[in-house]
Amino acid sequence: LSIAQRASTGALPPGRTVDELVRLAHERYAGVDDGAVADYIPVLAEADPRRFGLAVVGVDGERHEAGDTDVAFSIQSISKAFVLALVCEELGHRAVRERVGVNNTGLPFNSVIALELNAGSPSNPMVNAGAIATTALLPAASAEERWERVRDGLSRFAGRDLELDETVYVSEAETNQRNRAIAKLLQSYDRLDVDPLETVDVYTRQCALAVTAHDLAVMGATLADGGTNPVTGEQVVSAEVCRDTLAVLASCGLYERSGDWLFEIGLPAKSGVSGGIVAVAPGKGALGAYSPRLDAAGNSVRGQRACAYLSRALGLNLF
Ligand code: DON
């Protein structure tokens, strides 16, 4: 099949081809040493920059992988995508749009000025301000219950019980003054109905959940599959919620680089500062990538290159 034909078949190409292409993508980019491991969260600086894992999971549950796909790392900002889905499932599309927003800020993920320029609106659920506001919307009687709902919800996307990386949590909790300031600023604009510091604590834990590249691919494939986890068969969220979530990922998933990403790769996706990326091909499946060296916007360098290659080679680009 030509790439254009594959793009319209509504399926991944036949199994062996995907295996070969995933291995080839791994080989092609394993030698790329550009970028730097994140260090603003102290423990992330200890990540092994040589790690590189690529995983593909199809909507029928098939899996293809190469490299370090079972190495655990903290999910970081990728959690924002799945918490958004859980909140959309609970409160609906309109509440998220009104309370958080769905437009790109054009500014870095931890920008304070973006809040000030937008009269206290966090703009979208993928920047830190918007993610803290989104976590705050999840119905819960206490911070502990909110955390349990996040952990349980993300575990259902992954199809296994996800656990907190305690070291990452403690390291970030000791150094997250900026996120605490952002939450207080949101409160000053009347944008939070729950305690700001308790919410930041839940958000910090959600970012410290440990996942693998394979988990990311399963989580993404659940969004590709109309909300049904292709491995466990559980309906985690509705098909409408997948559509809402993927629209936000397309416009905001790679921060101020989201336009570049969509132009080059053509898939809704989400990155995180520990070096993970999930990219979703609706109706087909998802890619999970892990490699800790990041570019200036906080996106994995090898992960981006490998996703670009696989999007082309597997005919996944939506456009
Ligand atoms: O709040 C933070 O800064 C981190 N827990 C997550 C940031 C992140 O992953 C942004 N990614 N590119």
pTM value > 0.80: yes
Ligand 1 centre distance from Cα of residue 77 (Å): 5
Asked if domains 3-76+210-313 and 92-207 share a fold, the reply is yes
C-alpha to C-alpha distance for 222 and 153, rounded to whole angstroms:
12
* CATH fold of the domain at 3-76+210-313: Beta-lactamase (3.40.710)
Are residues 133 and 127 in contact, defined by beta-carbon separation less than 8 angstroms?
Answer: no
Residues flagged as binding site for substrate = 77, 128, 172, 179, 203, 255, 273
Q: What is the pLDDT of residue 297?
A: 85
Ligand 1 atom closest to residue 297's alpha carbon, by position in its atom list: 12
> Which mutation among 39, 41, 75, 77 tests ligand 1's pocket best, with the greatest number of atoms within 8 A of CB?
77
Q: What residues are in contact with ligand 1 under a 6 Å CB criterion?
A: 76-77, 109-110, 128, 172, 179, 207, 271-273, 298
pLDDT band for position 255 (50/70/90)?
confident
Domain definitions of the chain by residue range? 3-76+210-313, 92-207
Condensed to tens digits (0 to 9), the pLDDT of residues 262-316 reads: 999 999 999 999 999 999 999 999 999 999 999 998 899 999 999 999 999 999 9
Examine the residue annotation and report whether 284 is marked as an active-site residue of this protein. Answer: no
29 catalytic? Reply is no
Mean pLDDT of 68-81: 98
Q: Which of 76, 107, 134, 150 to mutate to test the pocket of ligand 1 (most atoms within 8 A of CB)?
A: 76
- Give the number of other CB atoms < 10 A from CB of residue 313: 18
pLDDT more than 90, % of the chain: 92
ipTM exceeding cut-off 0.90 for this assembly: yes
pLDDT for residue 32 is more than 80: yes
Q: Which residue's C-alpha comes closest to atom 1 of ligand 1? A: 128
* Catalytic residue (choose from 56, 57, 169, 203): 203
Ligand 1 centre from 111 Cα, in Å? Answer: 11
Q: What is the pLDDT of residue 236?
A: 98
Domain 92-207 has CATH 3.20.20.190: no
**Residues 81, 276 contacting (CB under 8 angstroms):** no
